[in-house]
Amino acid sequence: MNAIISASDLASGLAGPNPPVLLDVRWQLTAAKASGEPPFDGRVAYEAGHLPGAVYVDLDRELASAPGAGGRHPLPDLERFGAAMRRAGVSPRRPVVVYDGGQGWAAARAWWLLRWAGHPDVRVLDGGLPAWEGPLEQTVPVPAEGDFTPEPGAGLLDADAAAELARSGVLLDARAGERYRGEVEPIDPVAGHIPGAVSAPTTENVGPDGRFLPAEELRERFKGLGVSEGSRVGVYCGSGVSAAHQVLALAIAGLPAELYVGSWSEWSSDPDRPVAVGPDPQ
């Protein structure tokens, strides 16, 4: 099953006999500006116009727990996550399509969580909302309650497992190159990367239109980063959001990968963990 869906295929699916549940996960990593302008509010954007029938899901409150020792976006409480999915109408027997404002990070986080929690059929709208050419609506739907119950599986790394994988397999750092090299760090307490990790900015998974590169191009990209058939691969970023996008890109390429959800925000909060700087993984 492909992990992404085009806008045209989504339109066809919505008109079919078993239309997917639509989840709107618009989110941005922003802060209030000096001018007093408030930070981005995904719910406000959703209420201004969303795909017909889509239900809004709050990444910070429903796809993550509160920031803390586990990072800025730790795994959500499973009961809270399951309740949010059921409220949105999610059931194991219906496909789910998630989308965001176009960056793809938030949608990928929802995709990864649902897949990790056992849902069999989840896809991301390739290109997000900007790719949709149909009408939008402002009506907030109240779907029938779903019956999805999270049953977590494999594919999750903690800090120790990520450190080990950086030595025995391939650990990809999905952040911008300058953050990996330790030249800048706008958010977390320490600049640099996990020793042994390879720089693999998420932005290089997509084209200028924000849509994923073809599977063969993605396979070549990851091959150049040391990933091959049979490689054990892990991914981290700042807080486990853009790294989910990297896991999604790897899935498109047919390469399974594990996610270190705590990511750099967890790793860098512990002064006893080693930090590497510069372009060299070590």
Residue 137: partners with Cβ closer than 8 Å, 6 or more residues away = 49, 50, 51, 52, 53
Query: Which one of the listed residues 227, 237, 247, 252 is annotated catalytic?
Result: 237
| 237 among known catalytic residues | yes
Contacts of 140 (CB under 8 A, 6+ apart): 47, 56
- Pair of tokens at residue 272: 């006893």
126: nearest Cα among 53, 29, 242, 213: 213
Unique residue bearing structure tokens 């080693």: 274
Sign of the dihedral defined by the CA atoms of residues 204, 128, 121, 153, in that order: positive
Amino acid letter, residue 133: E
Contacts of 156 (CB under 8 A, 6+ apart): 75, 116, 258, 259, 261
Instruction: Give the catalytic positions in this structure.
Output: 237
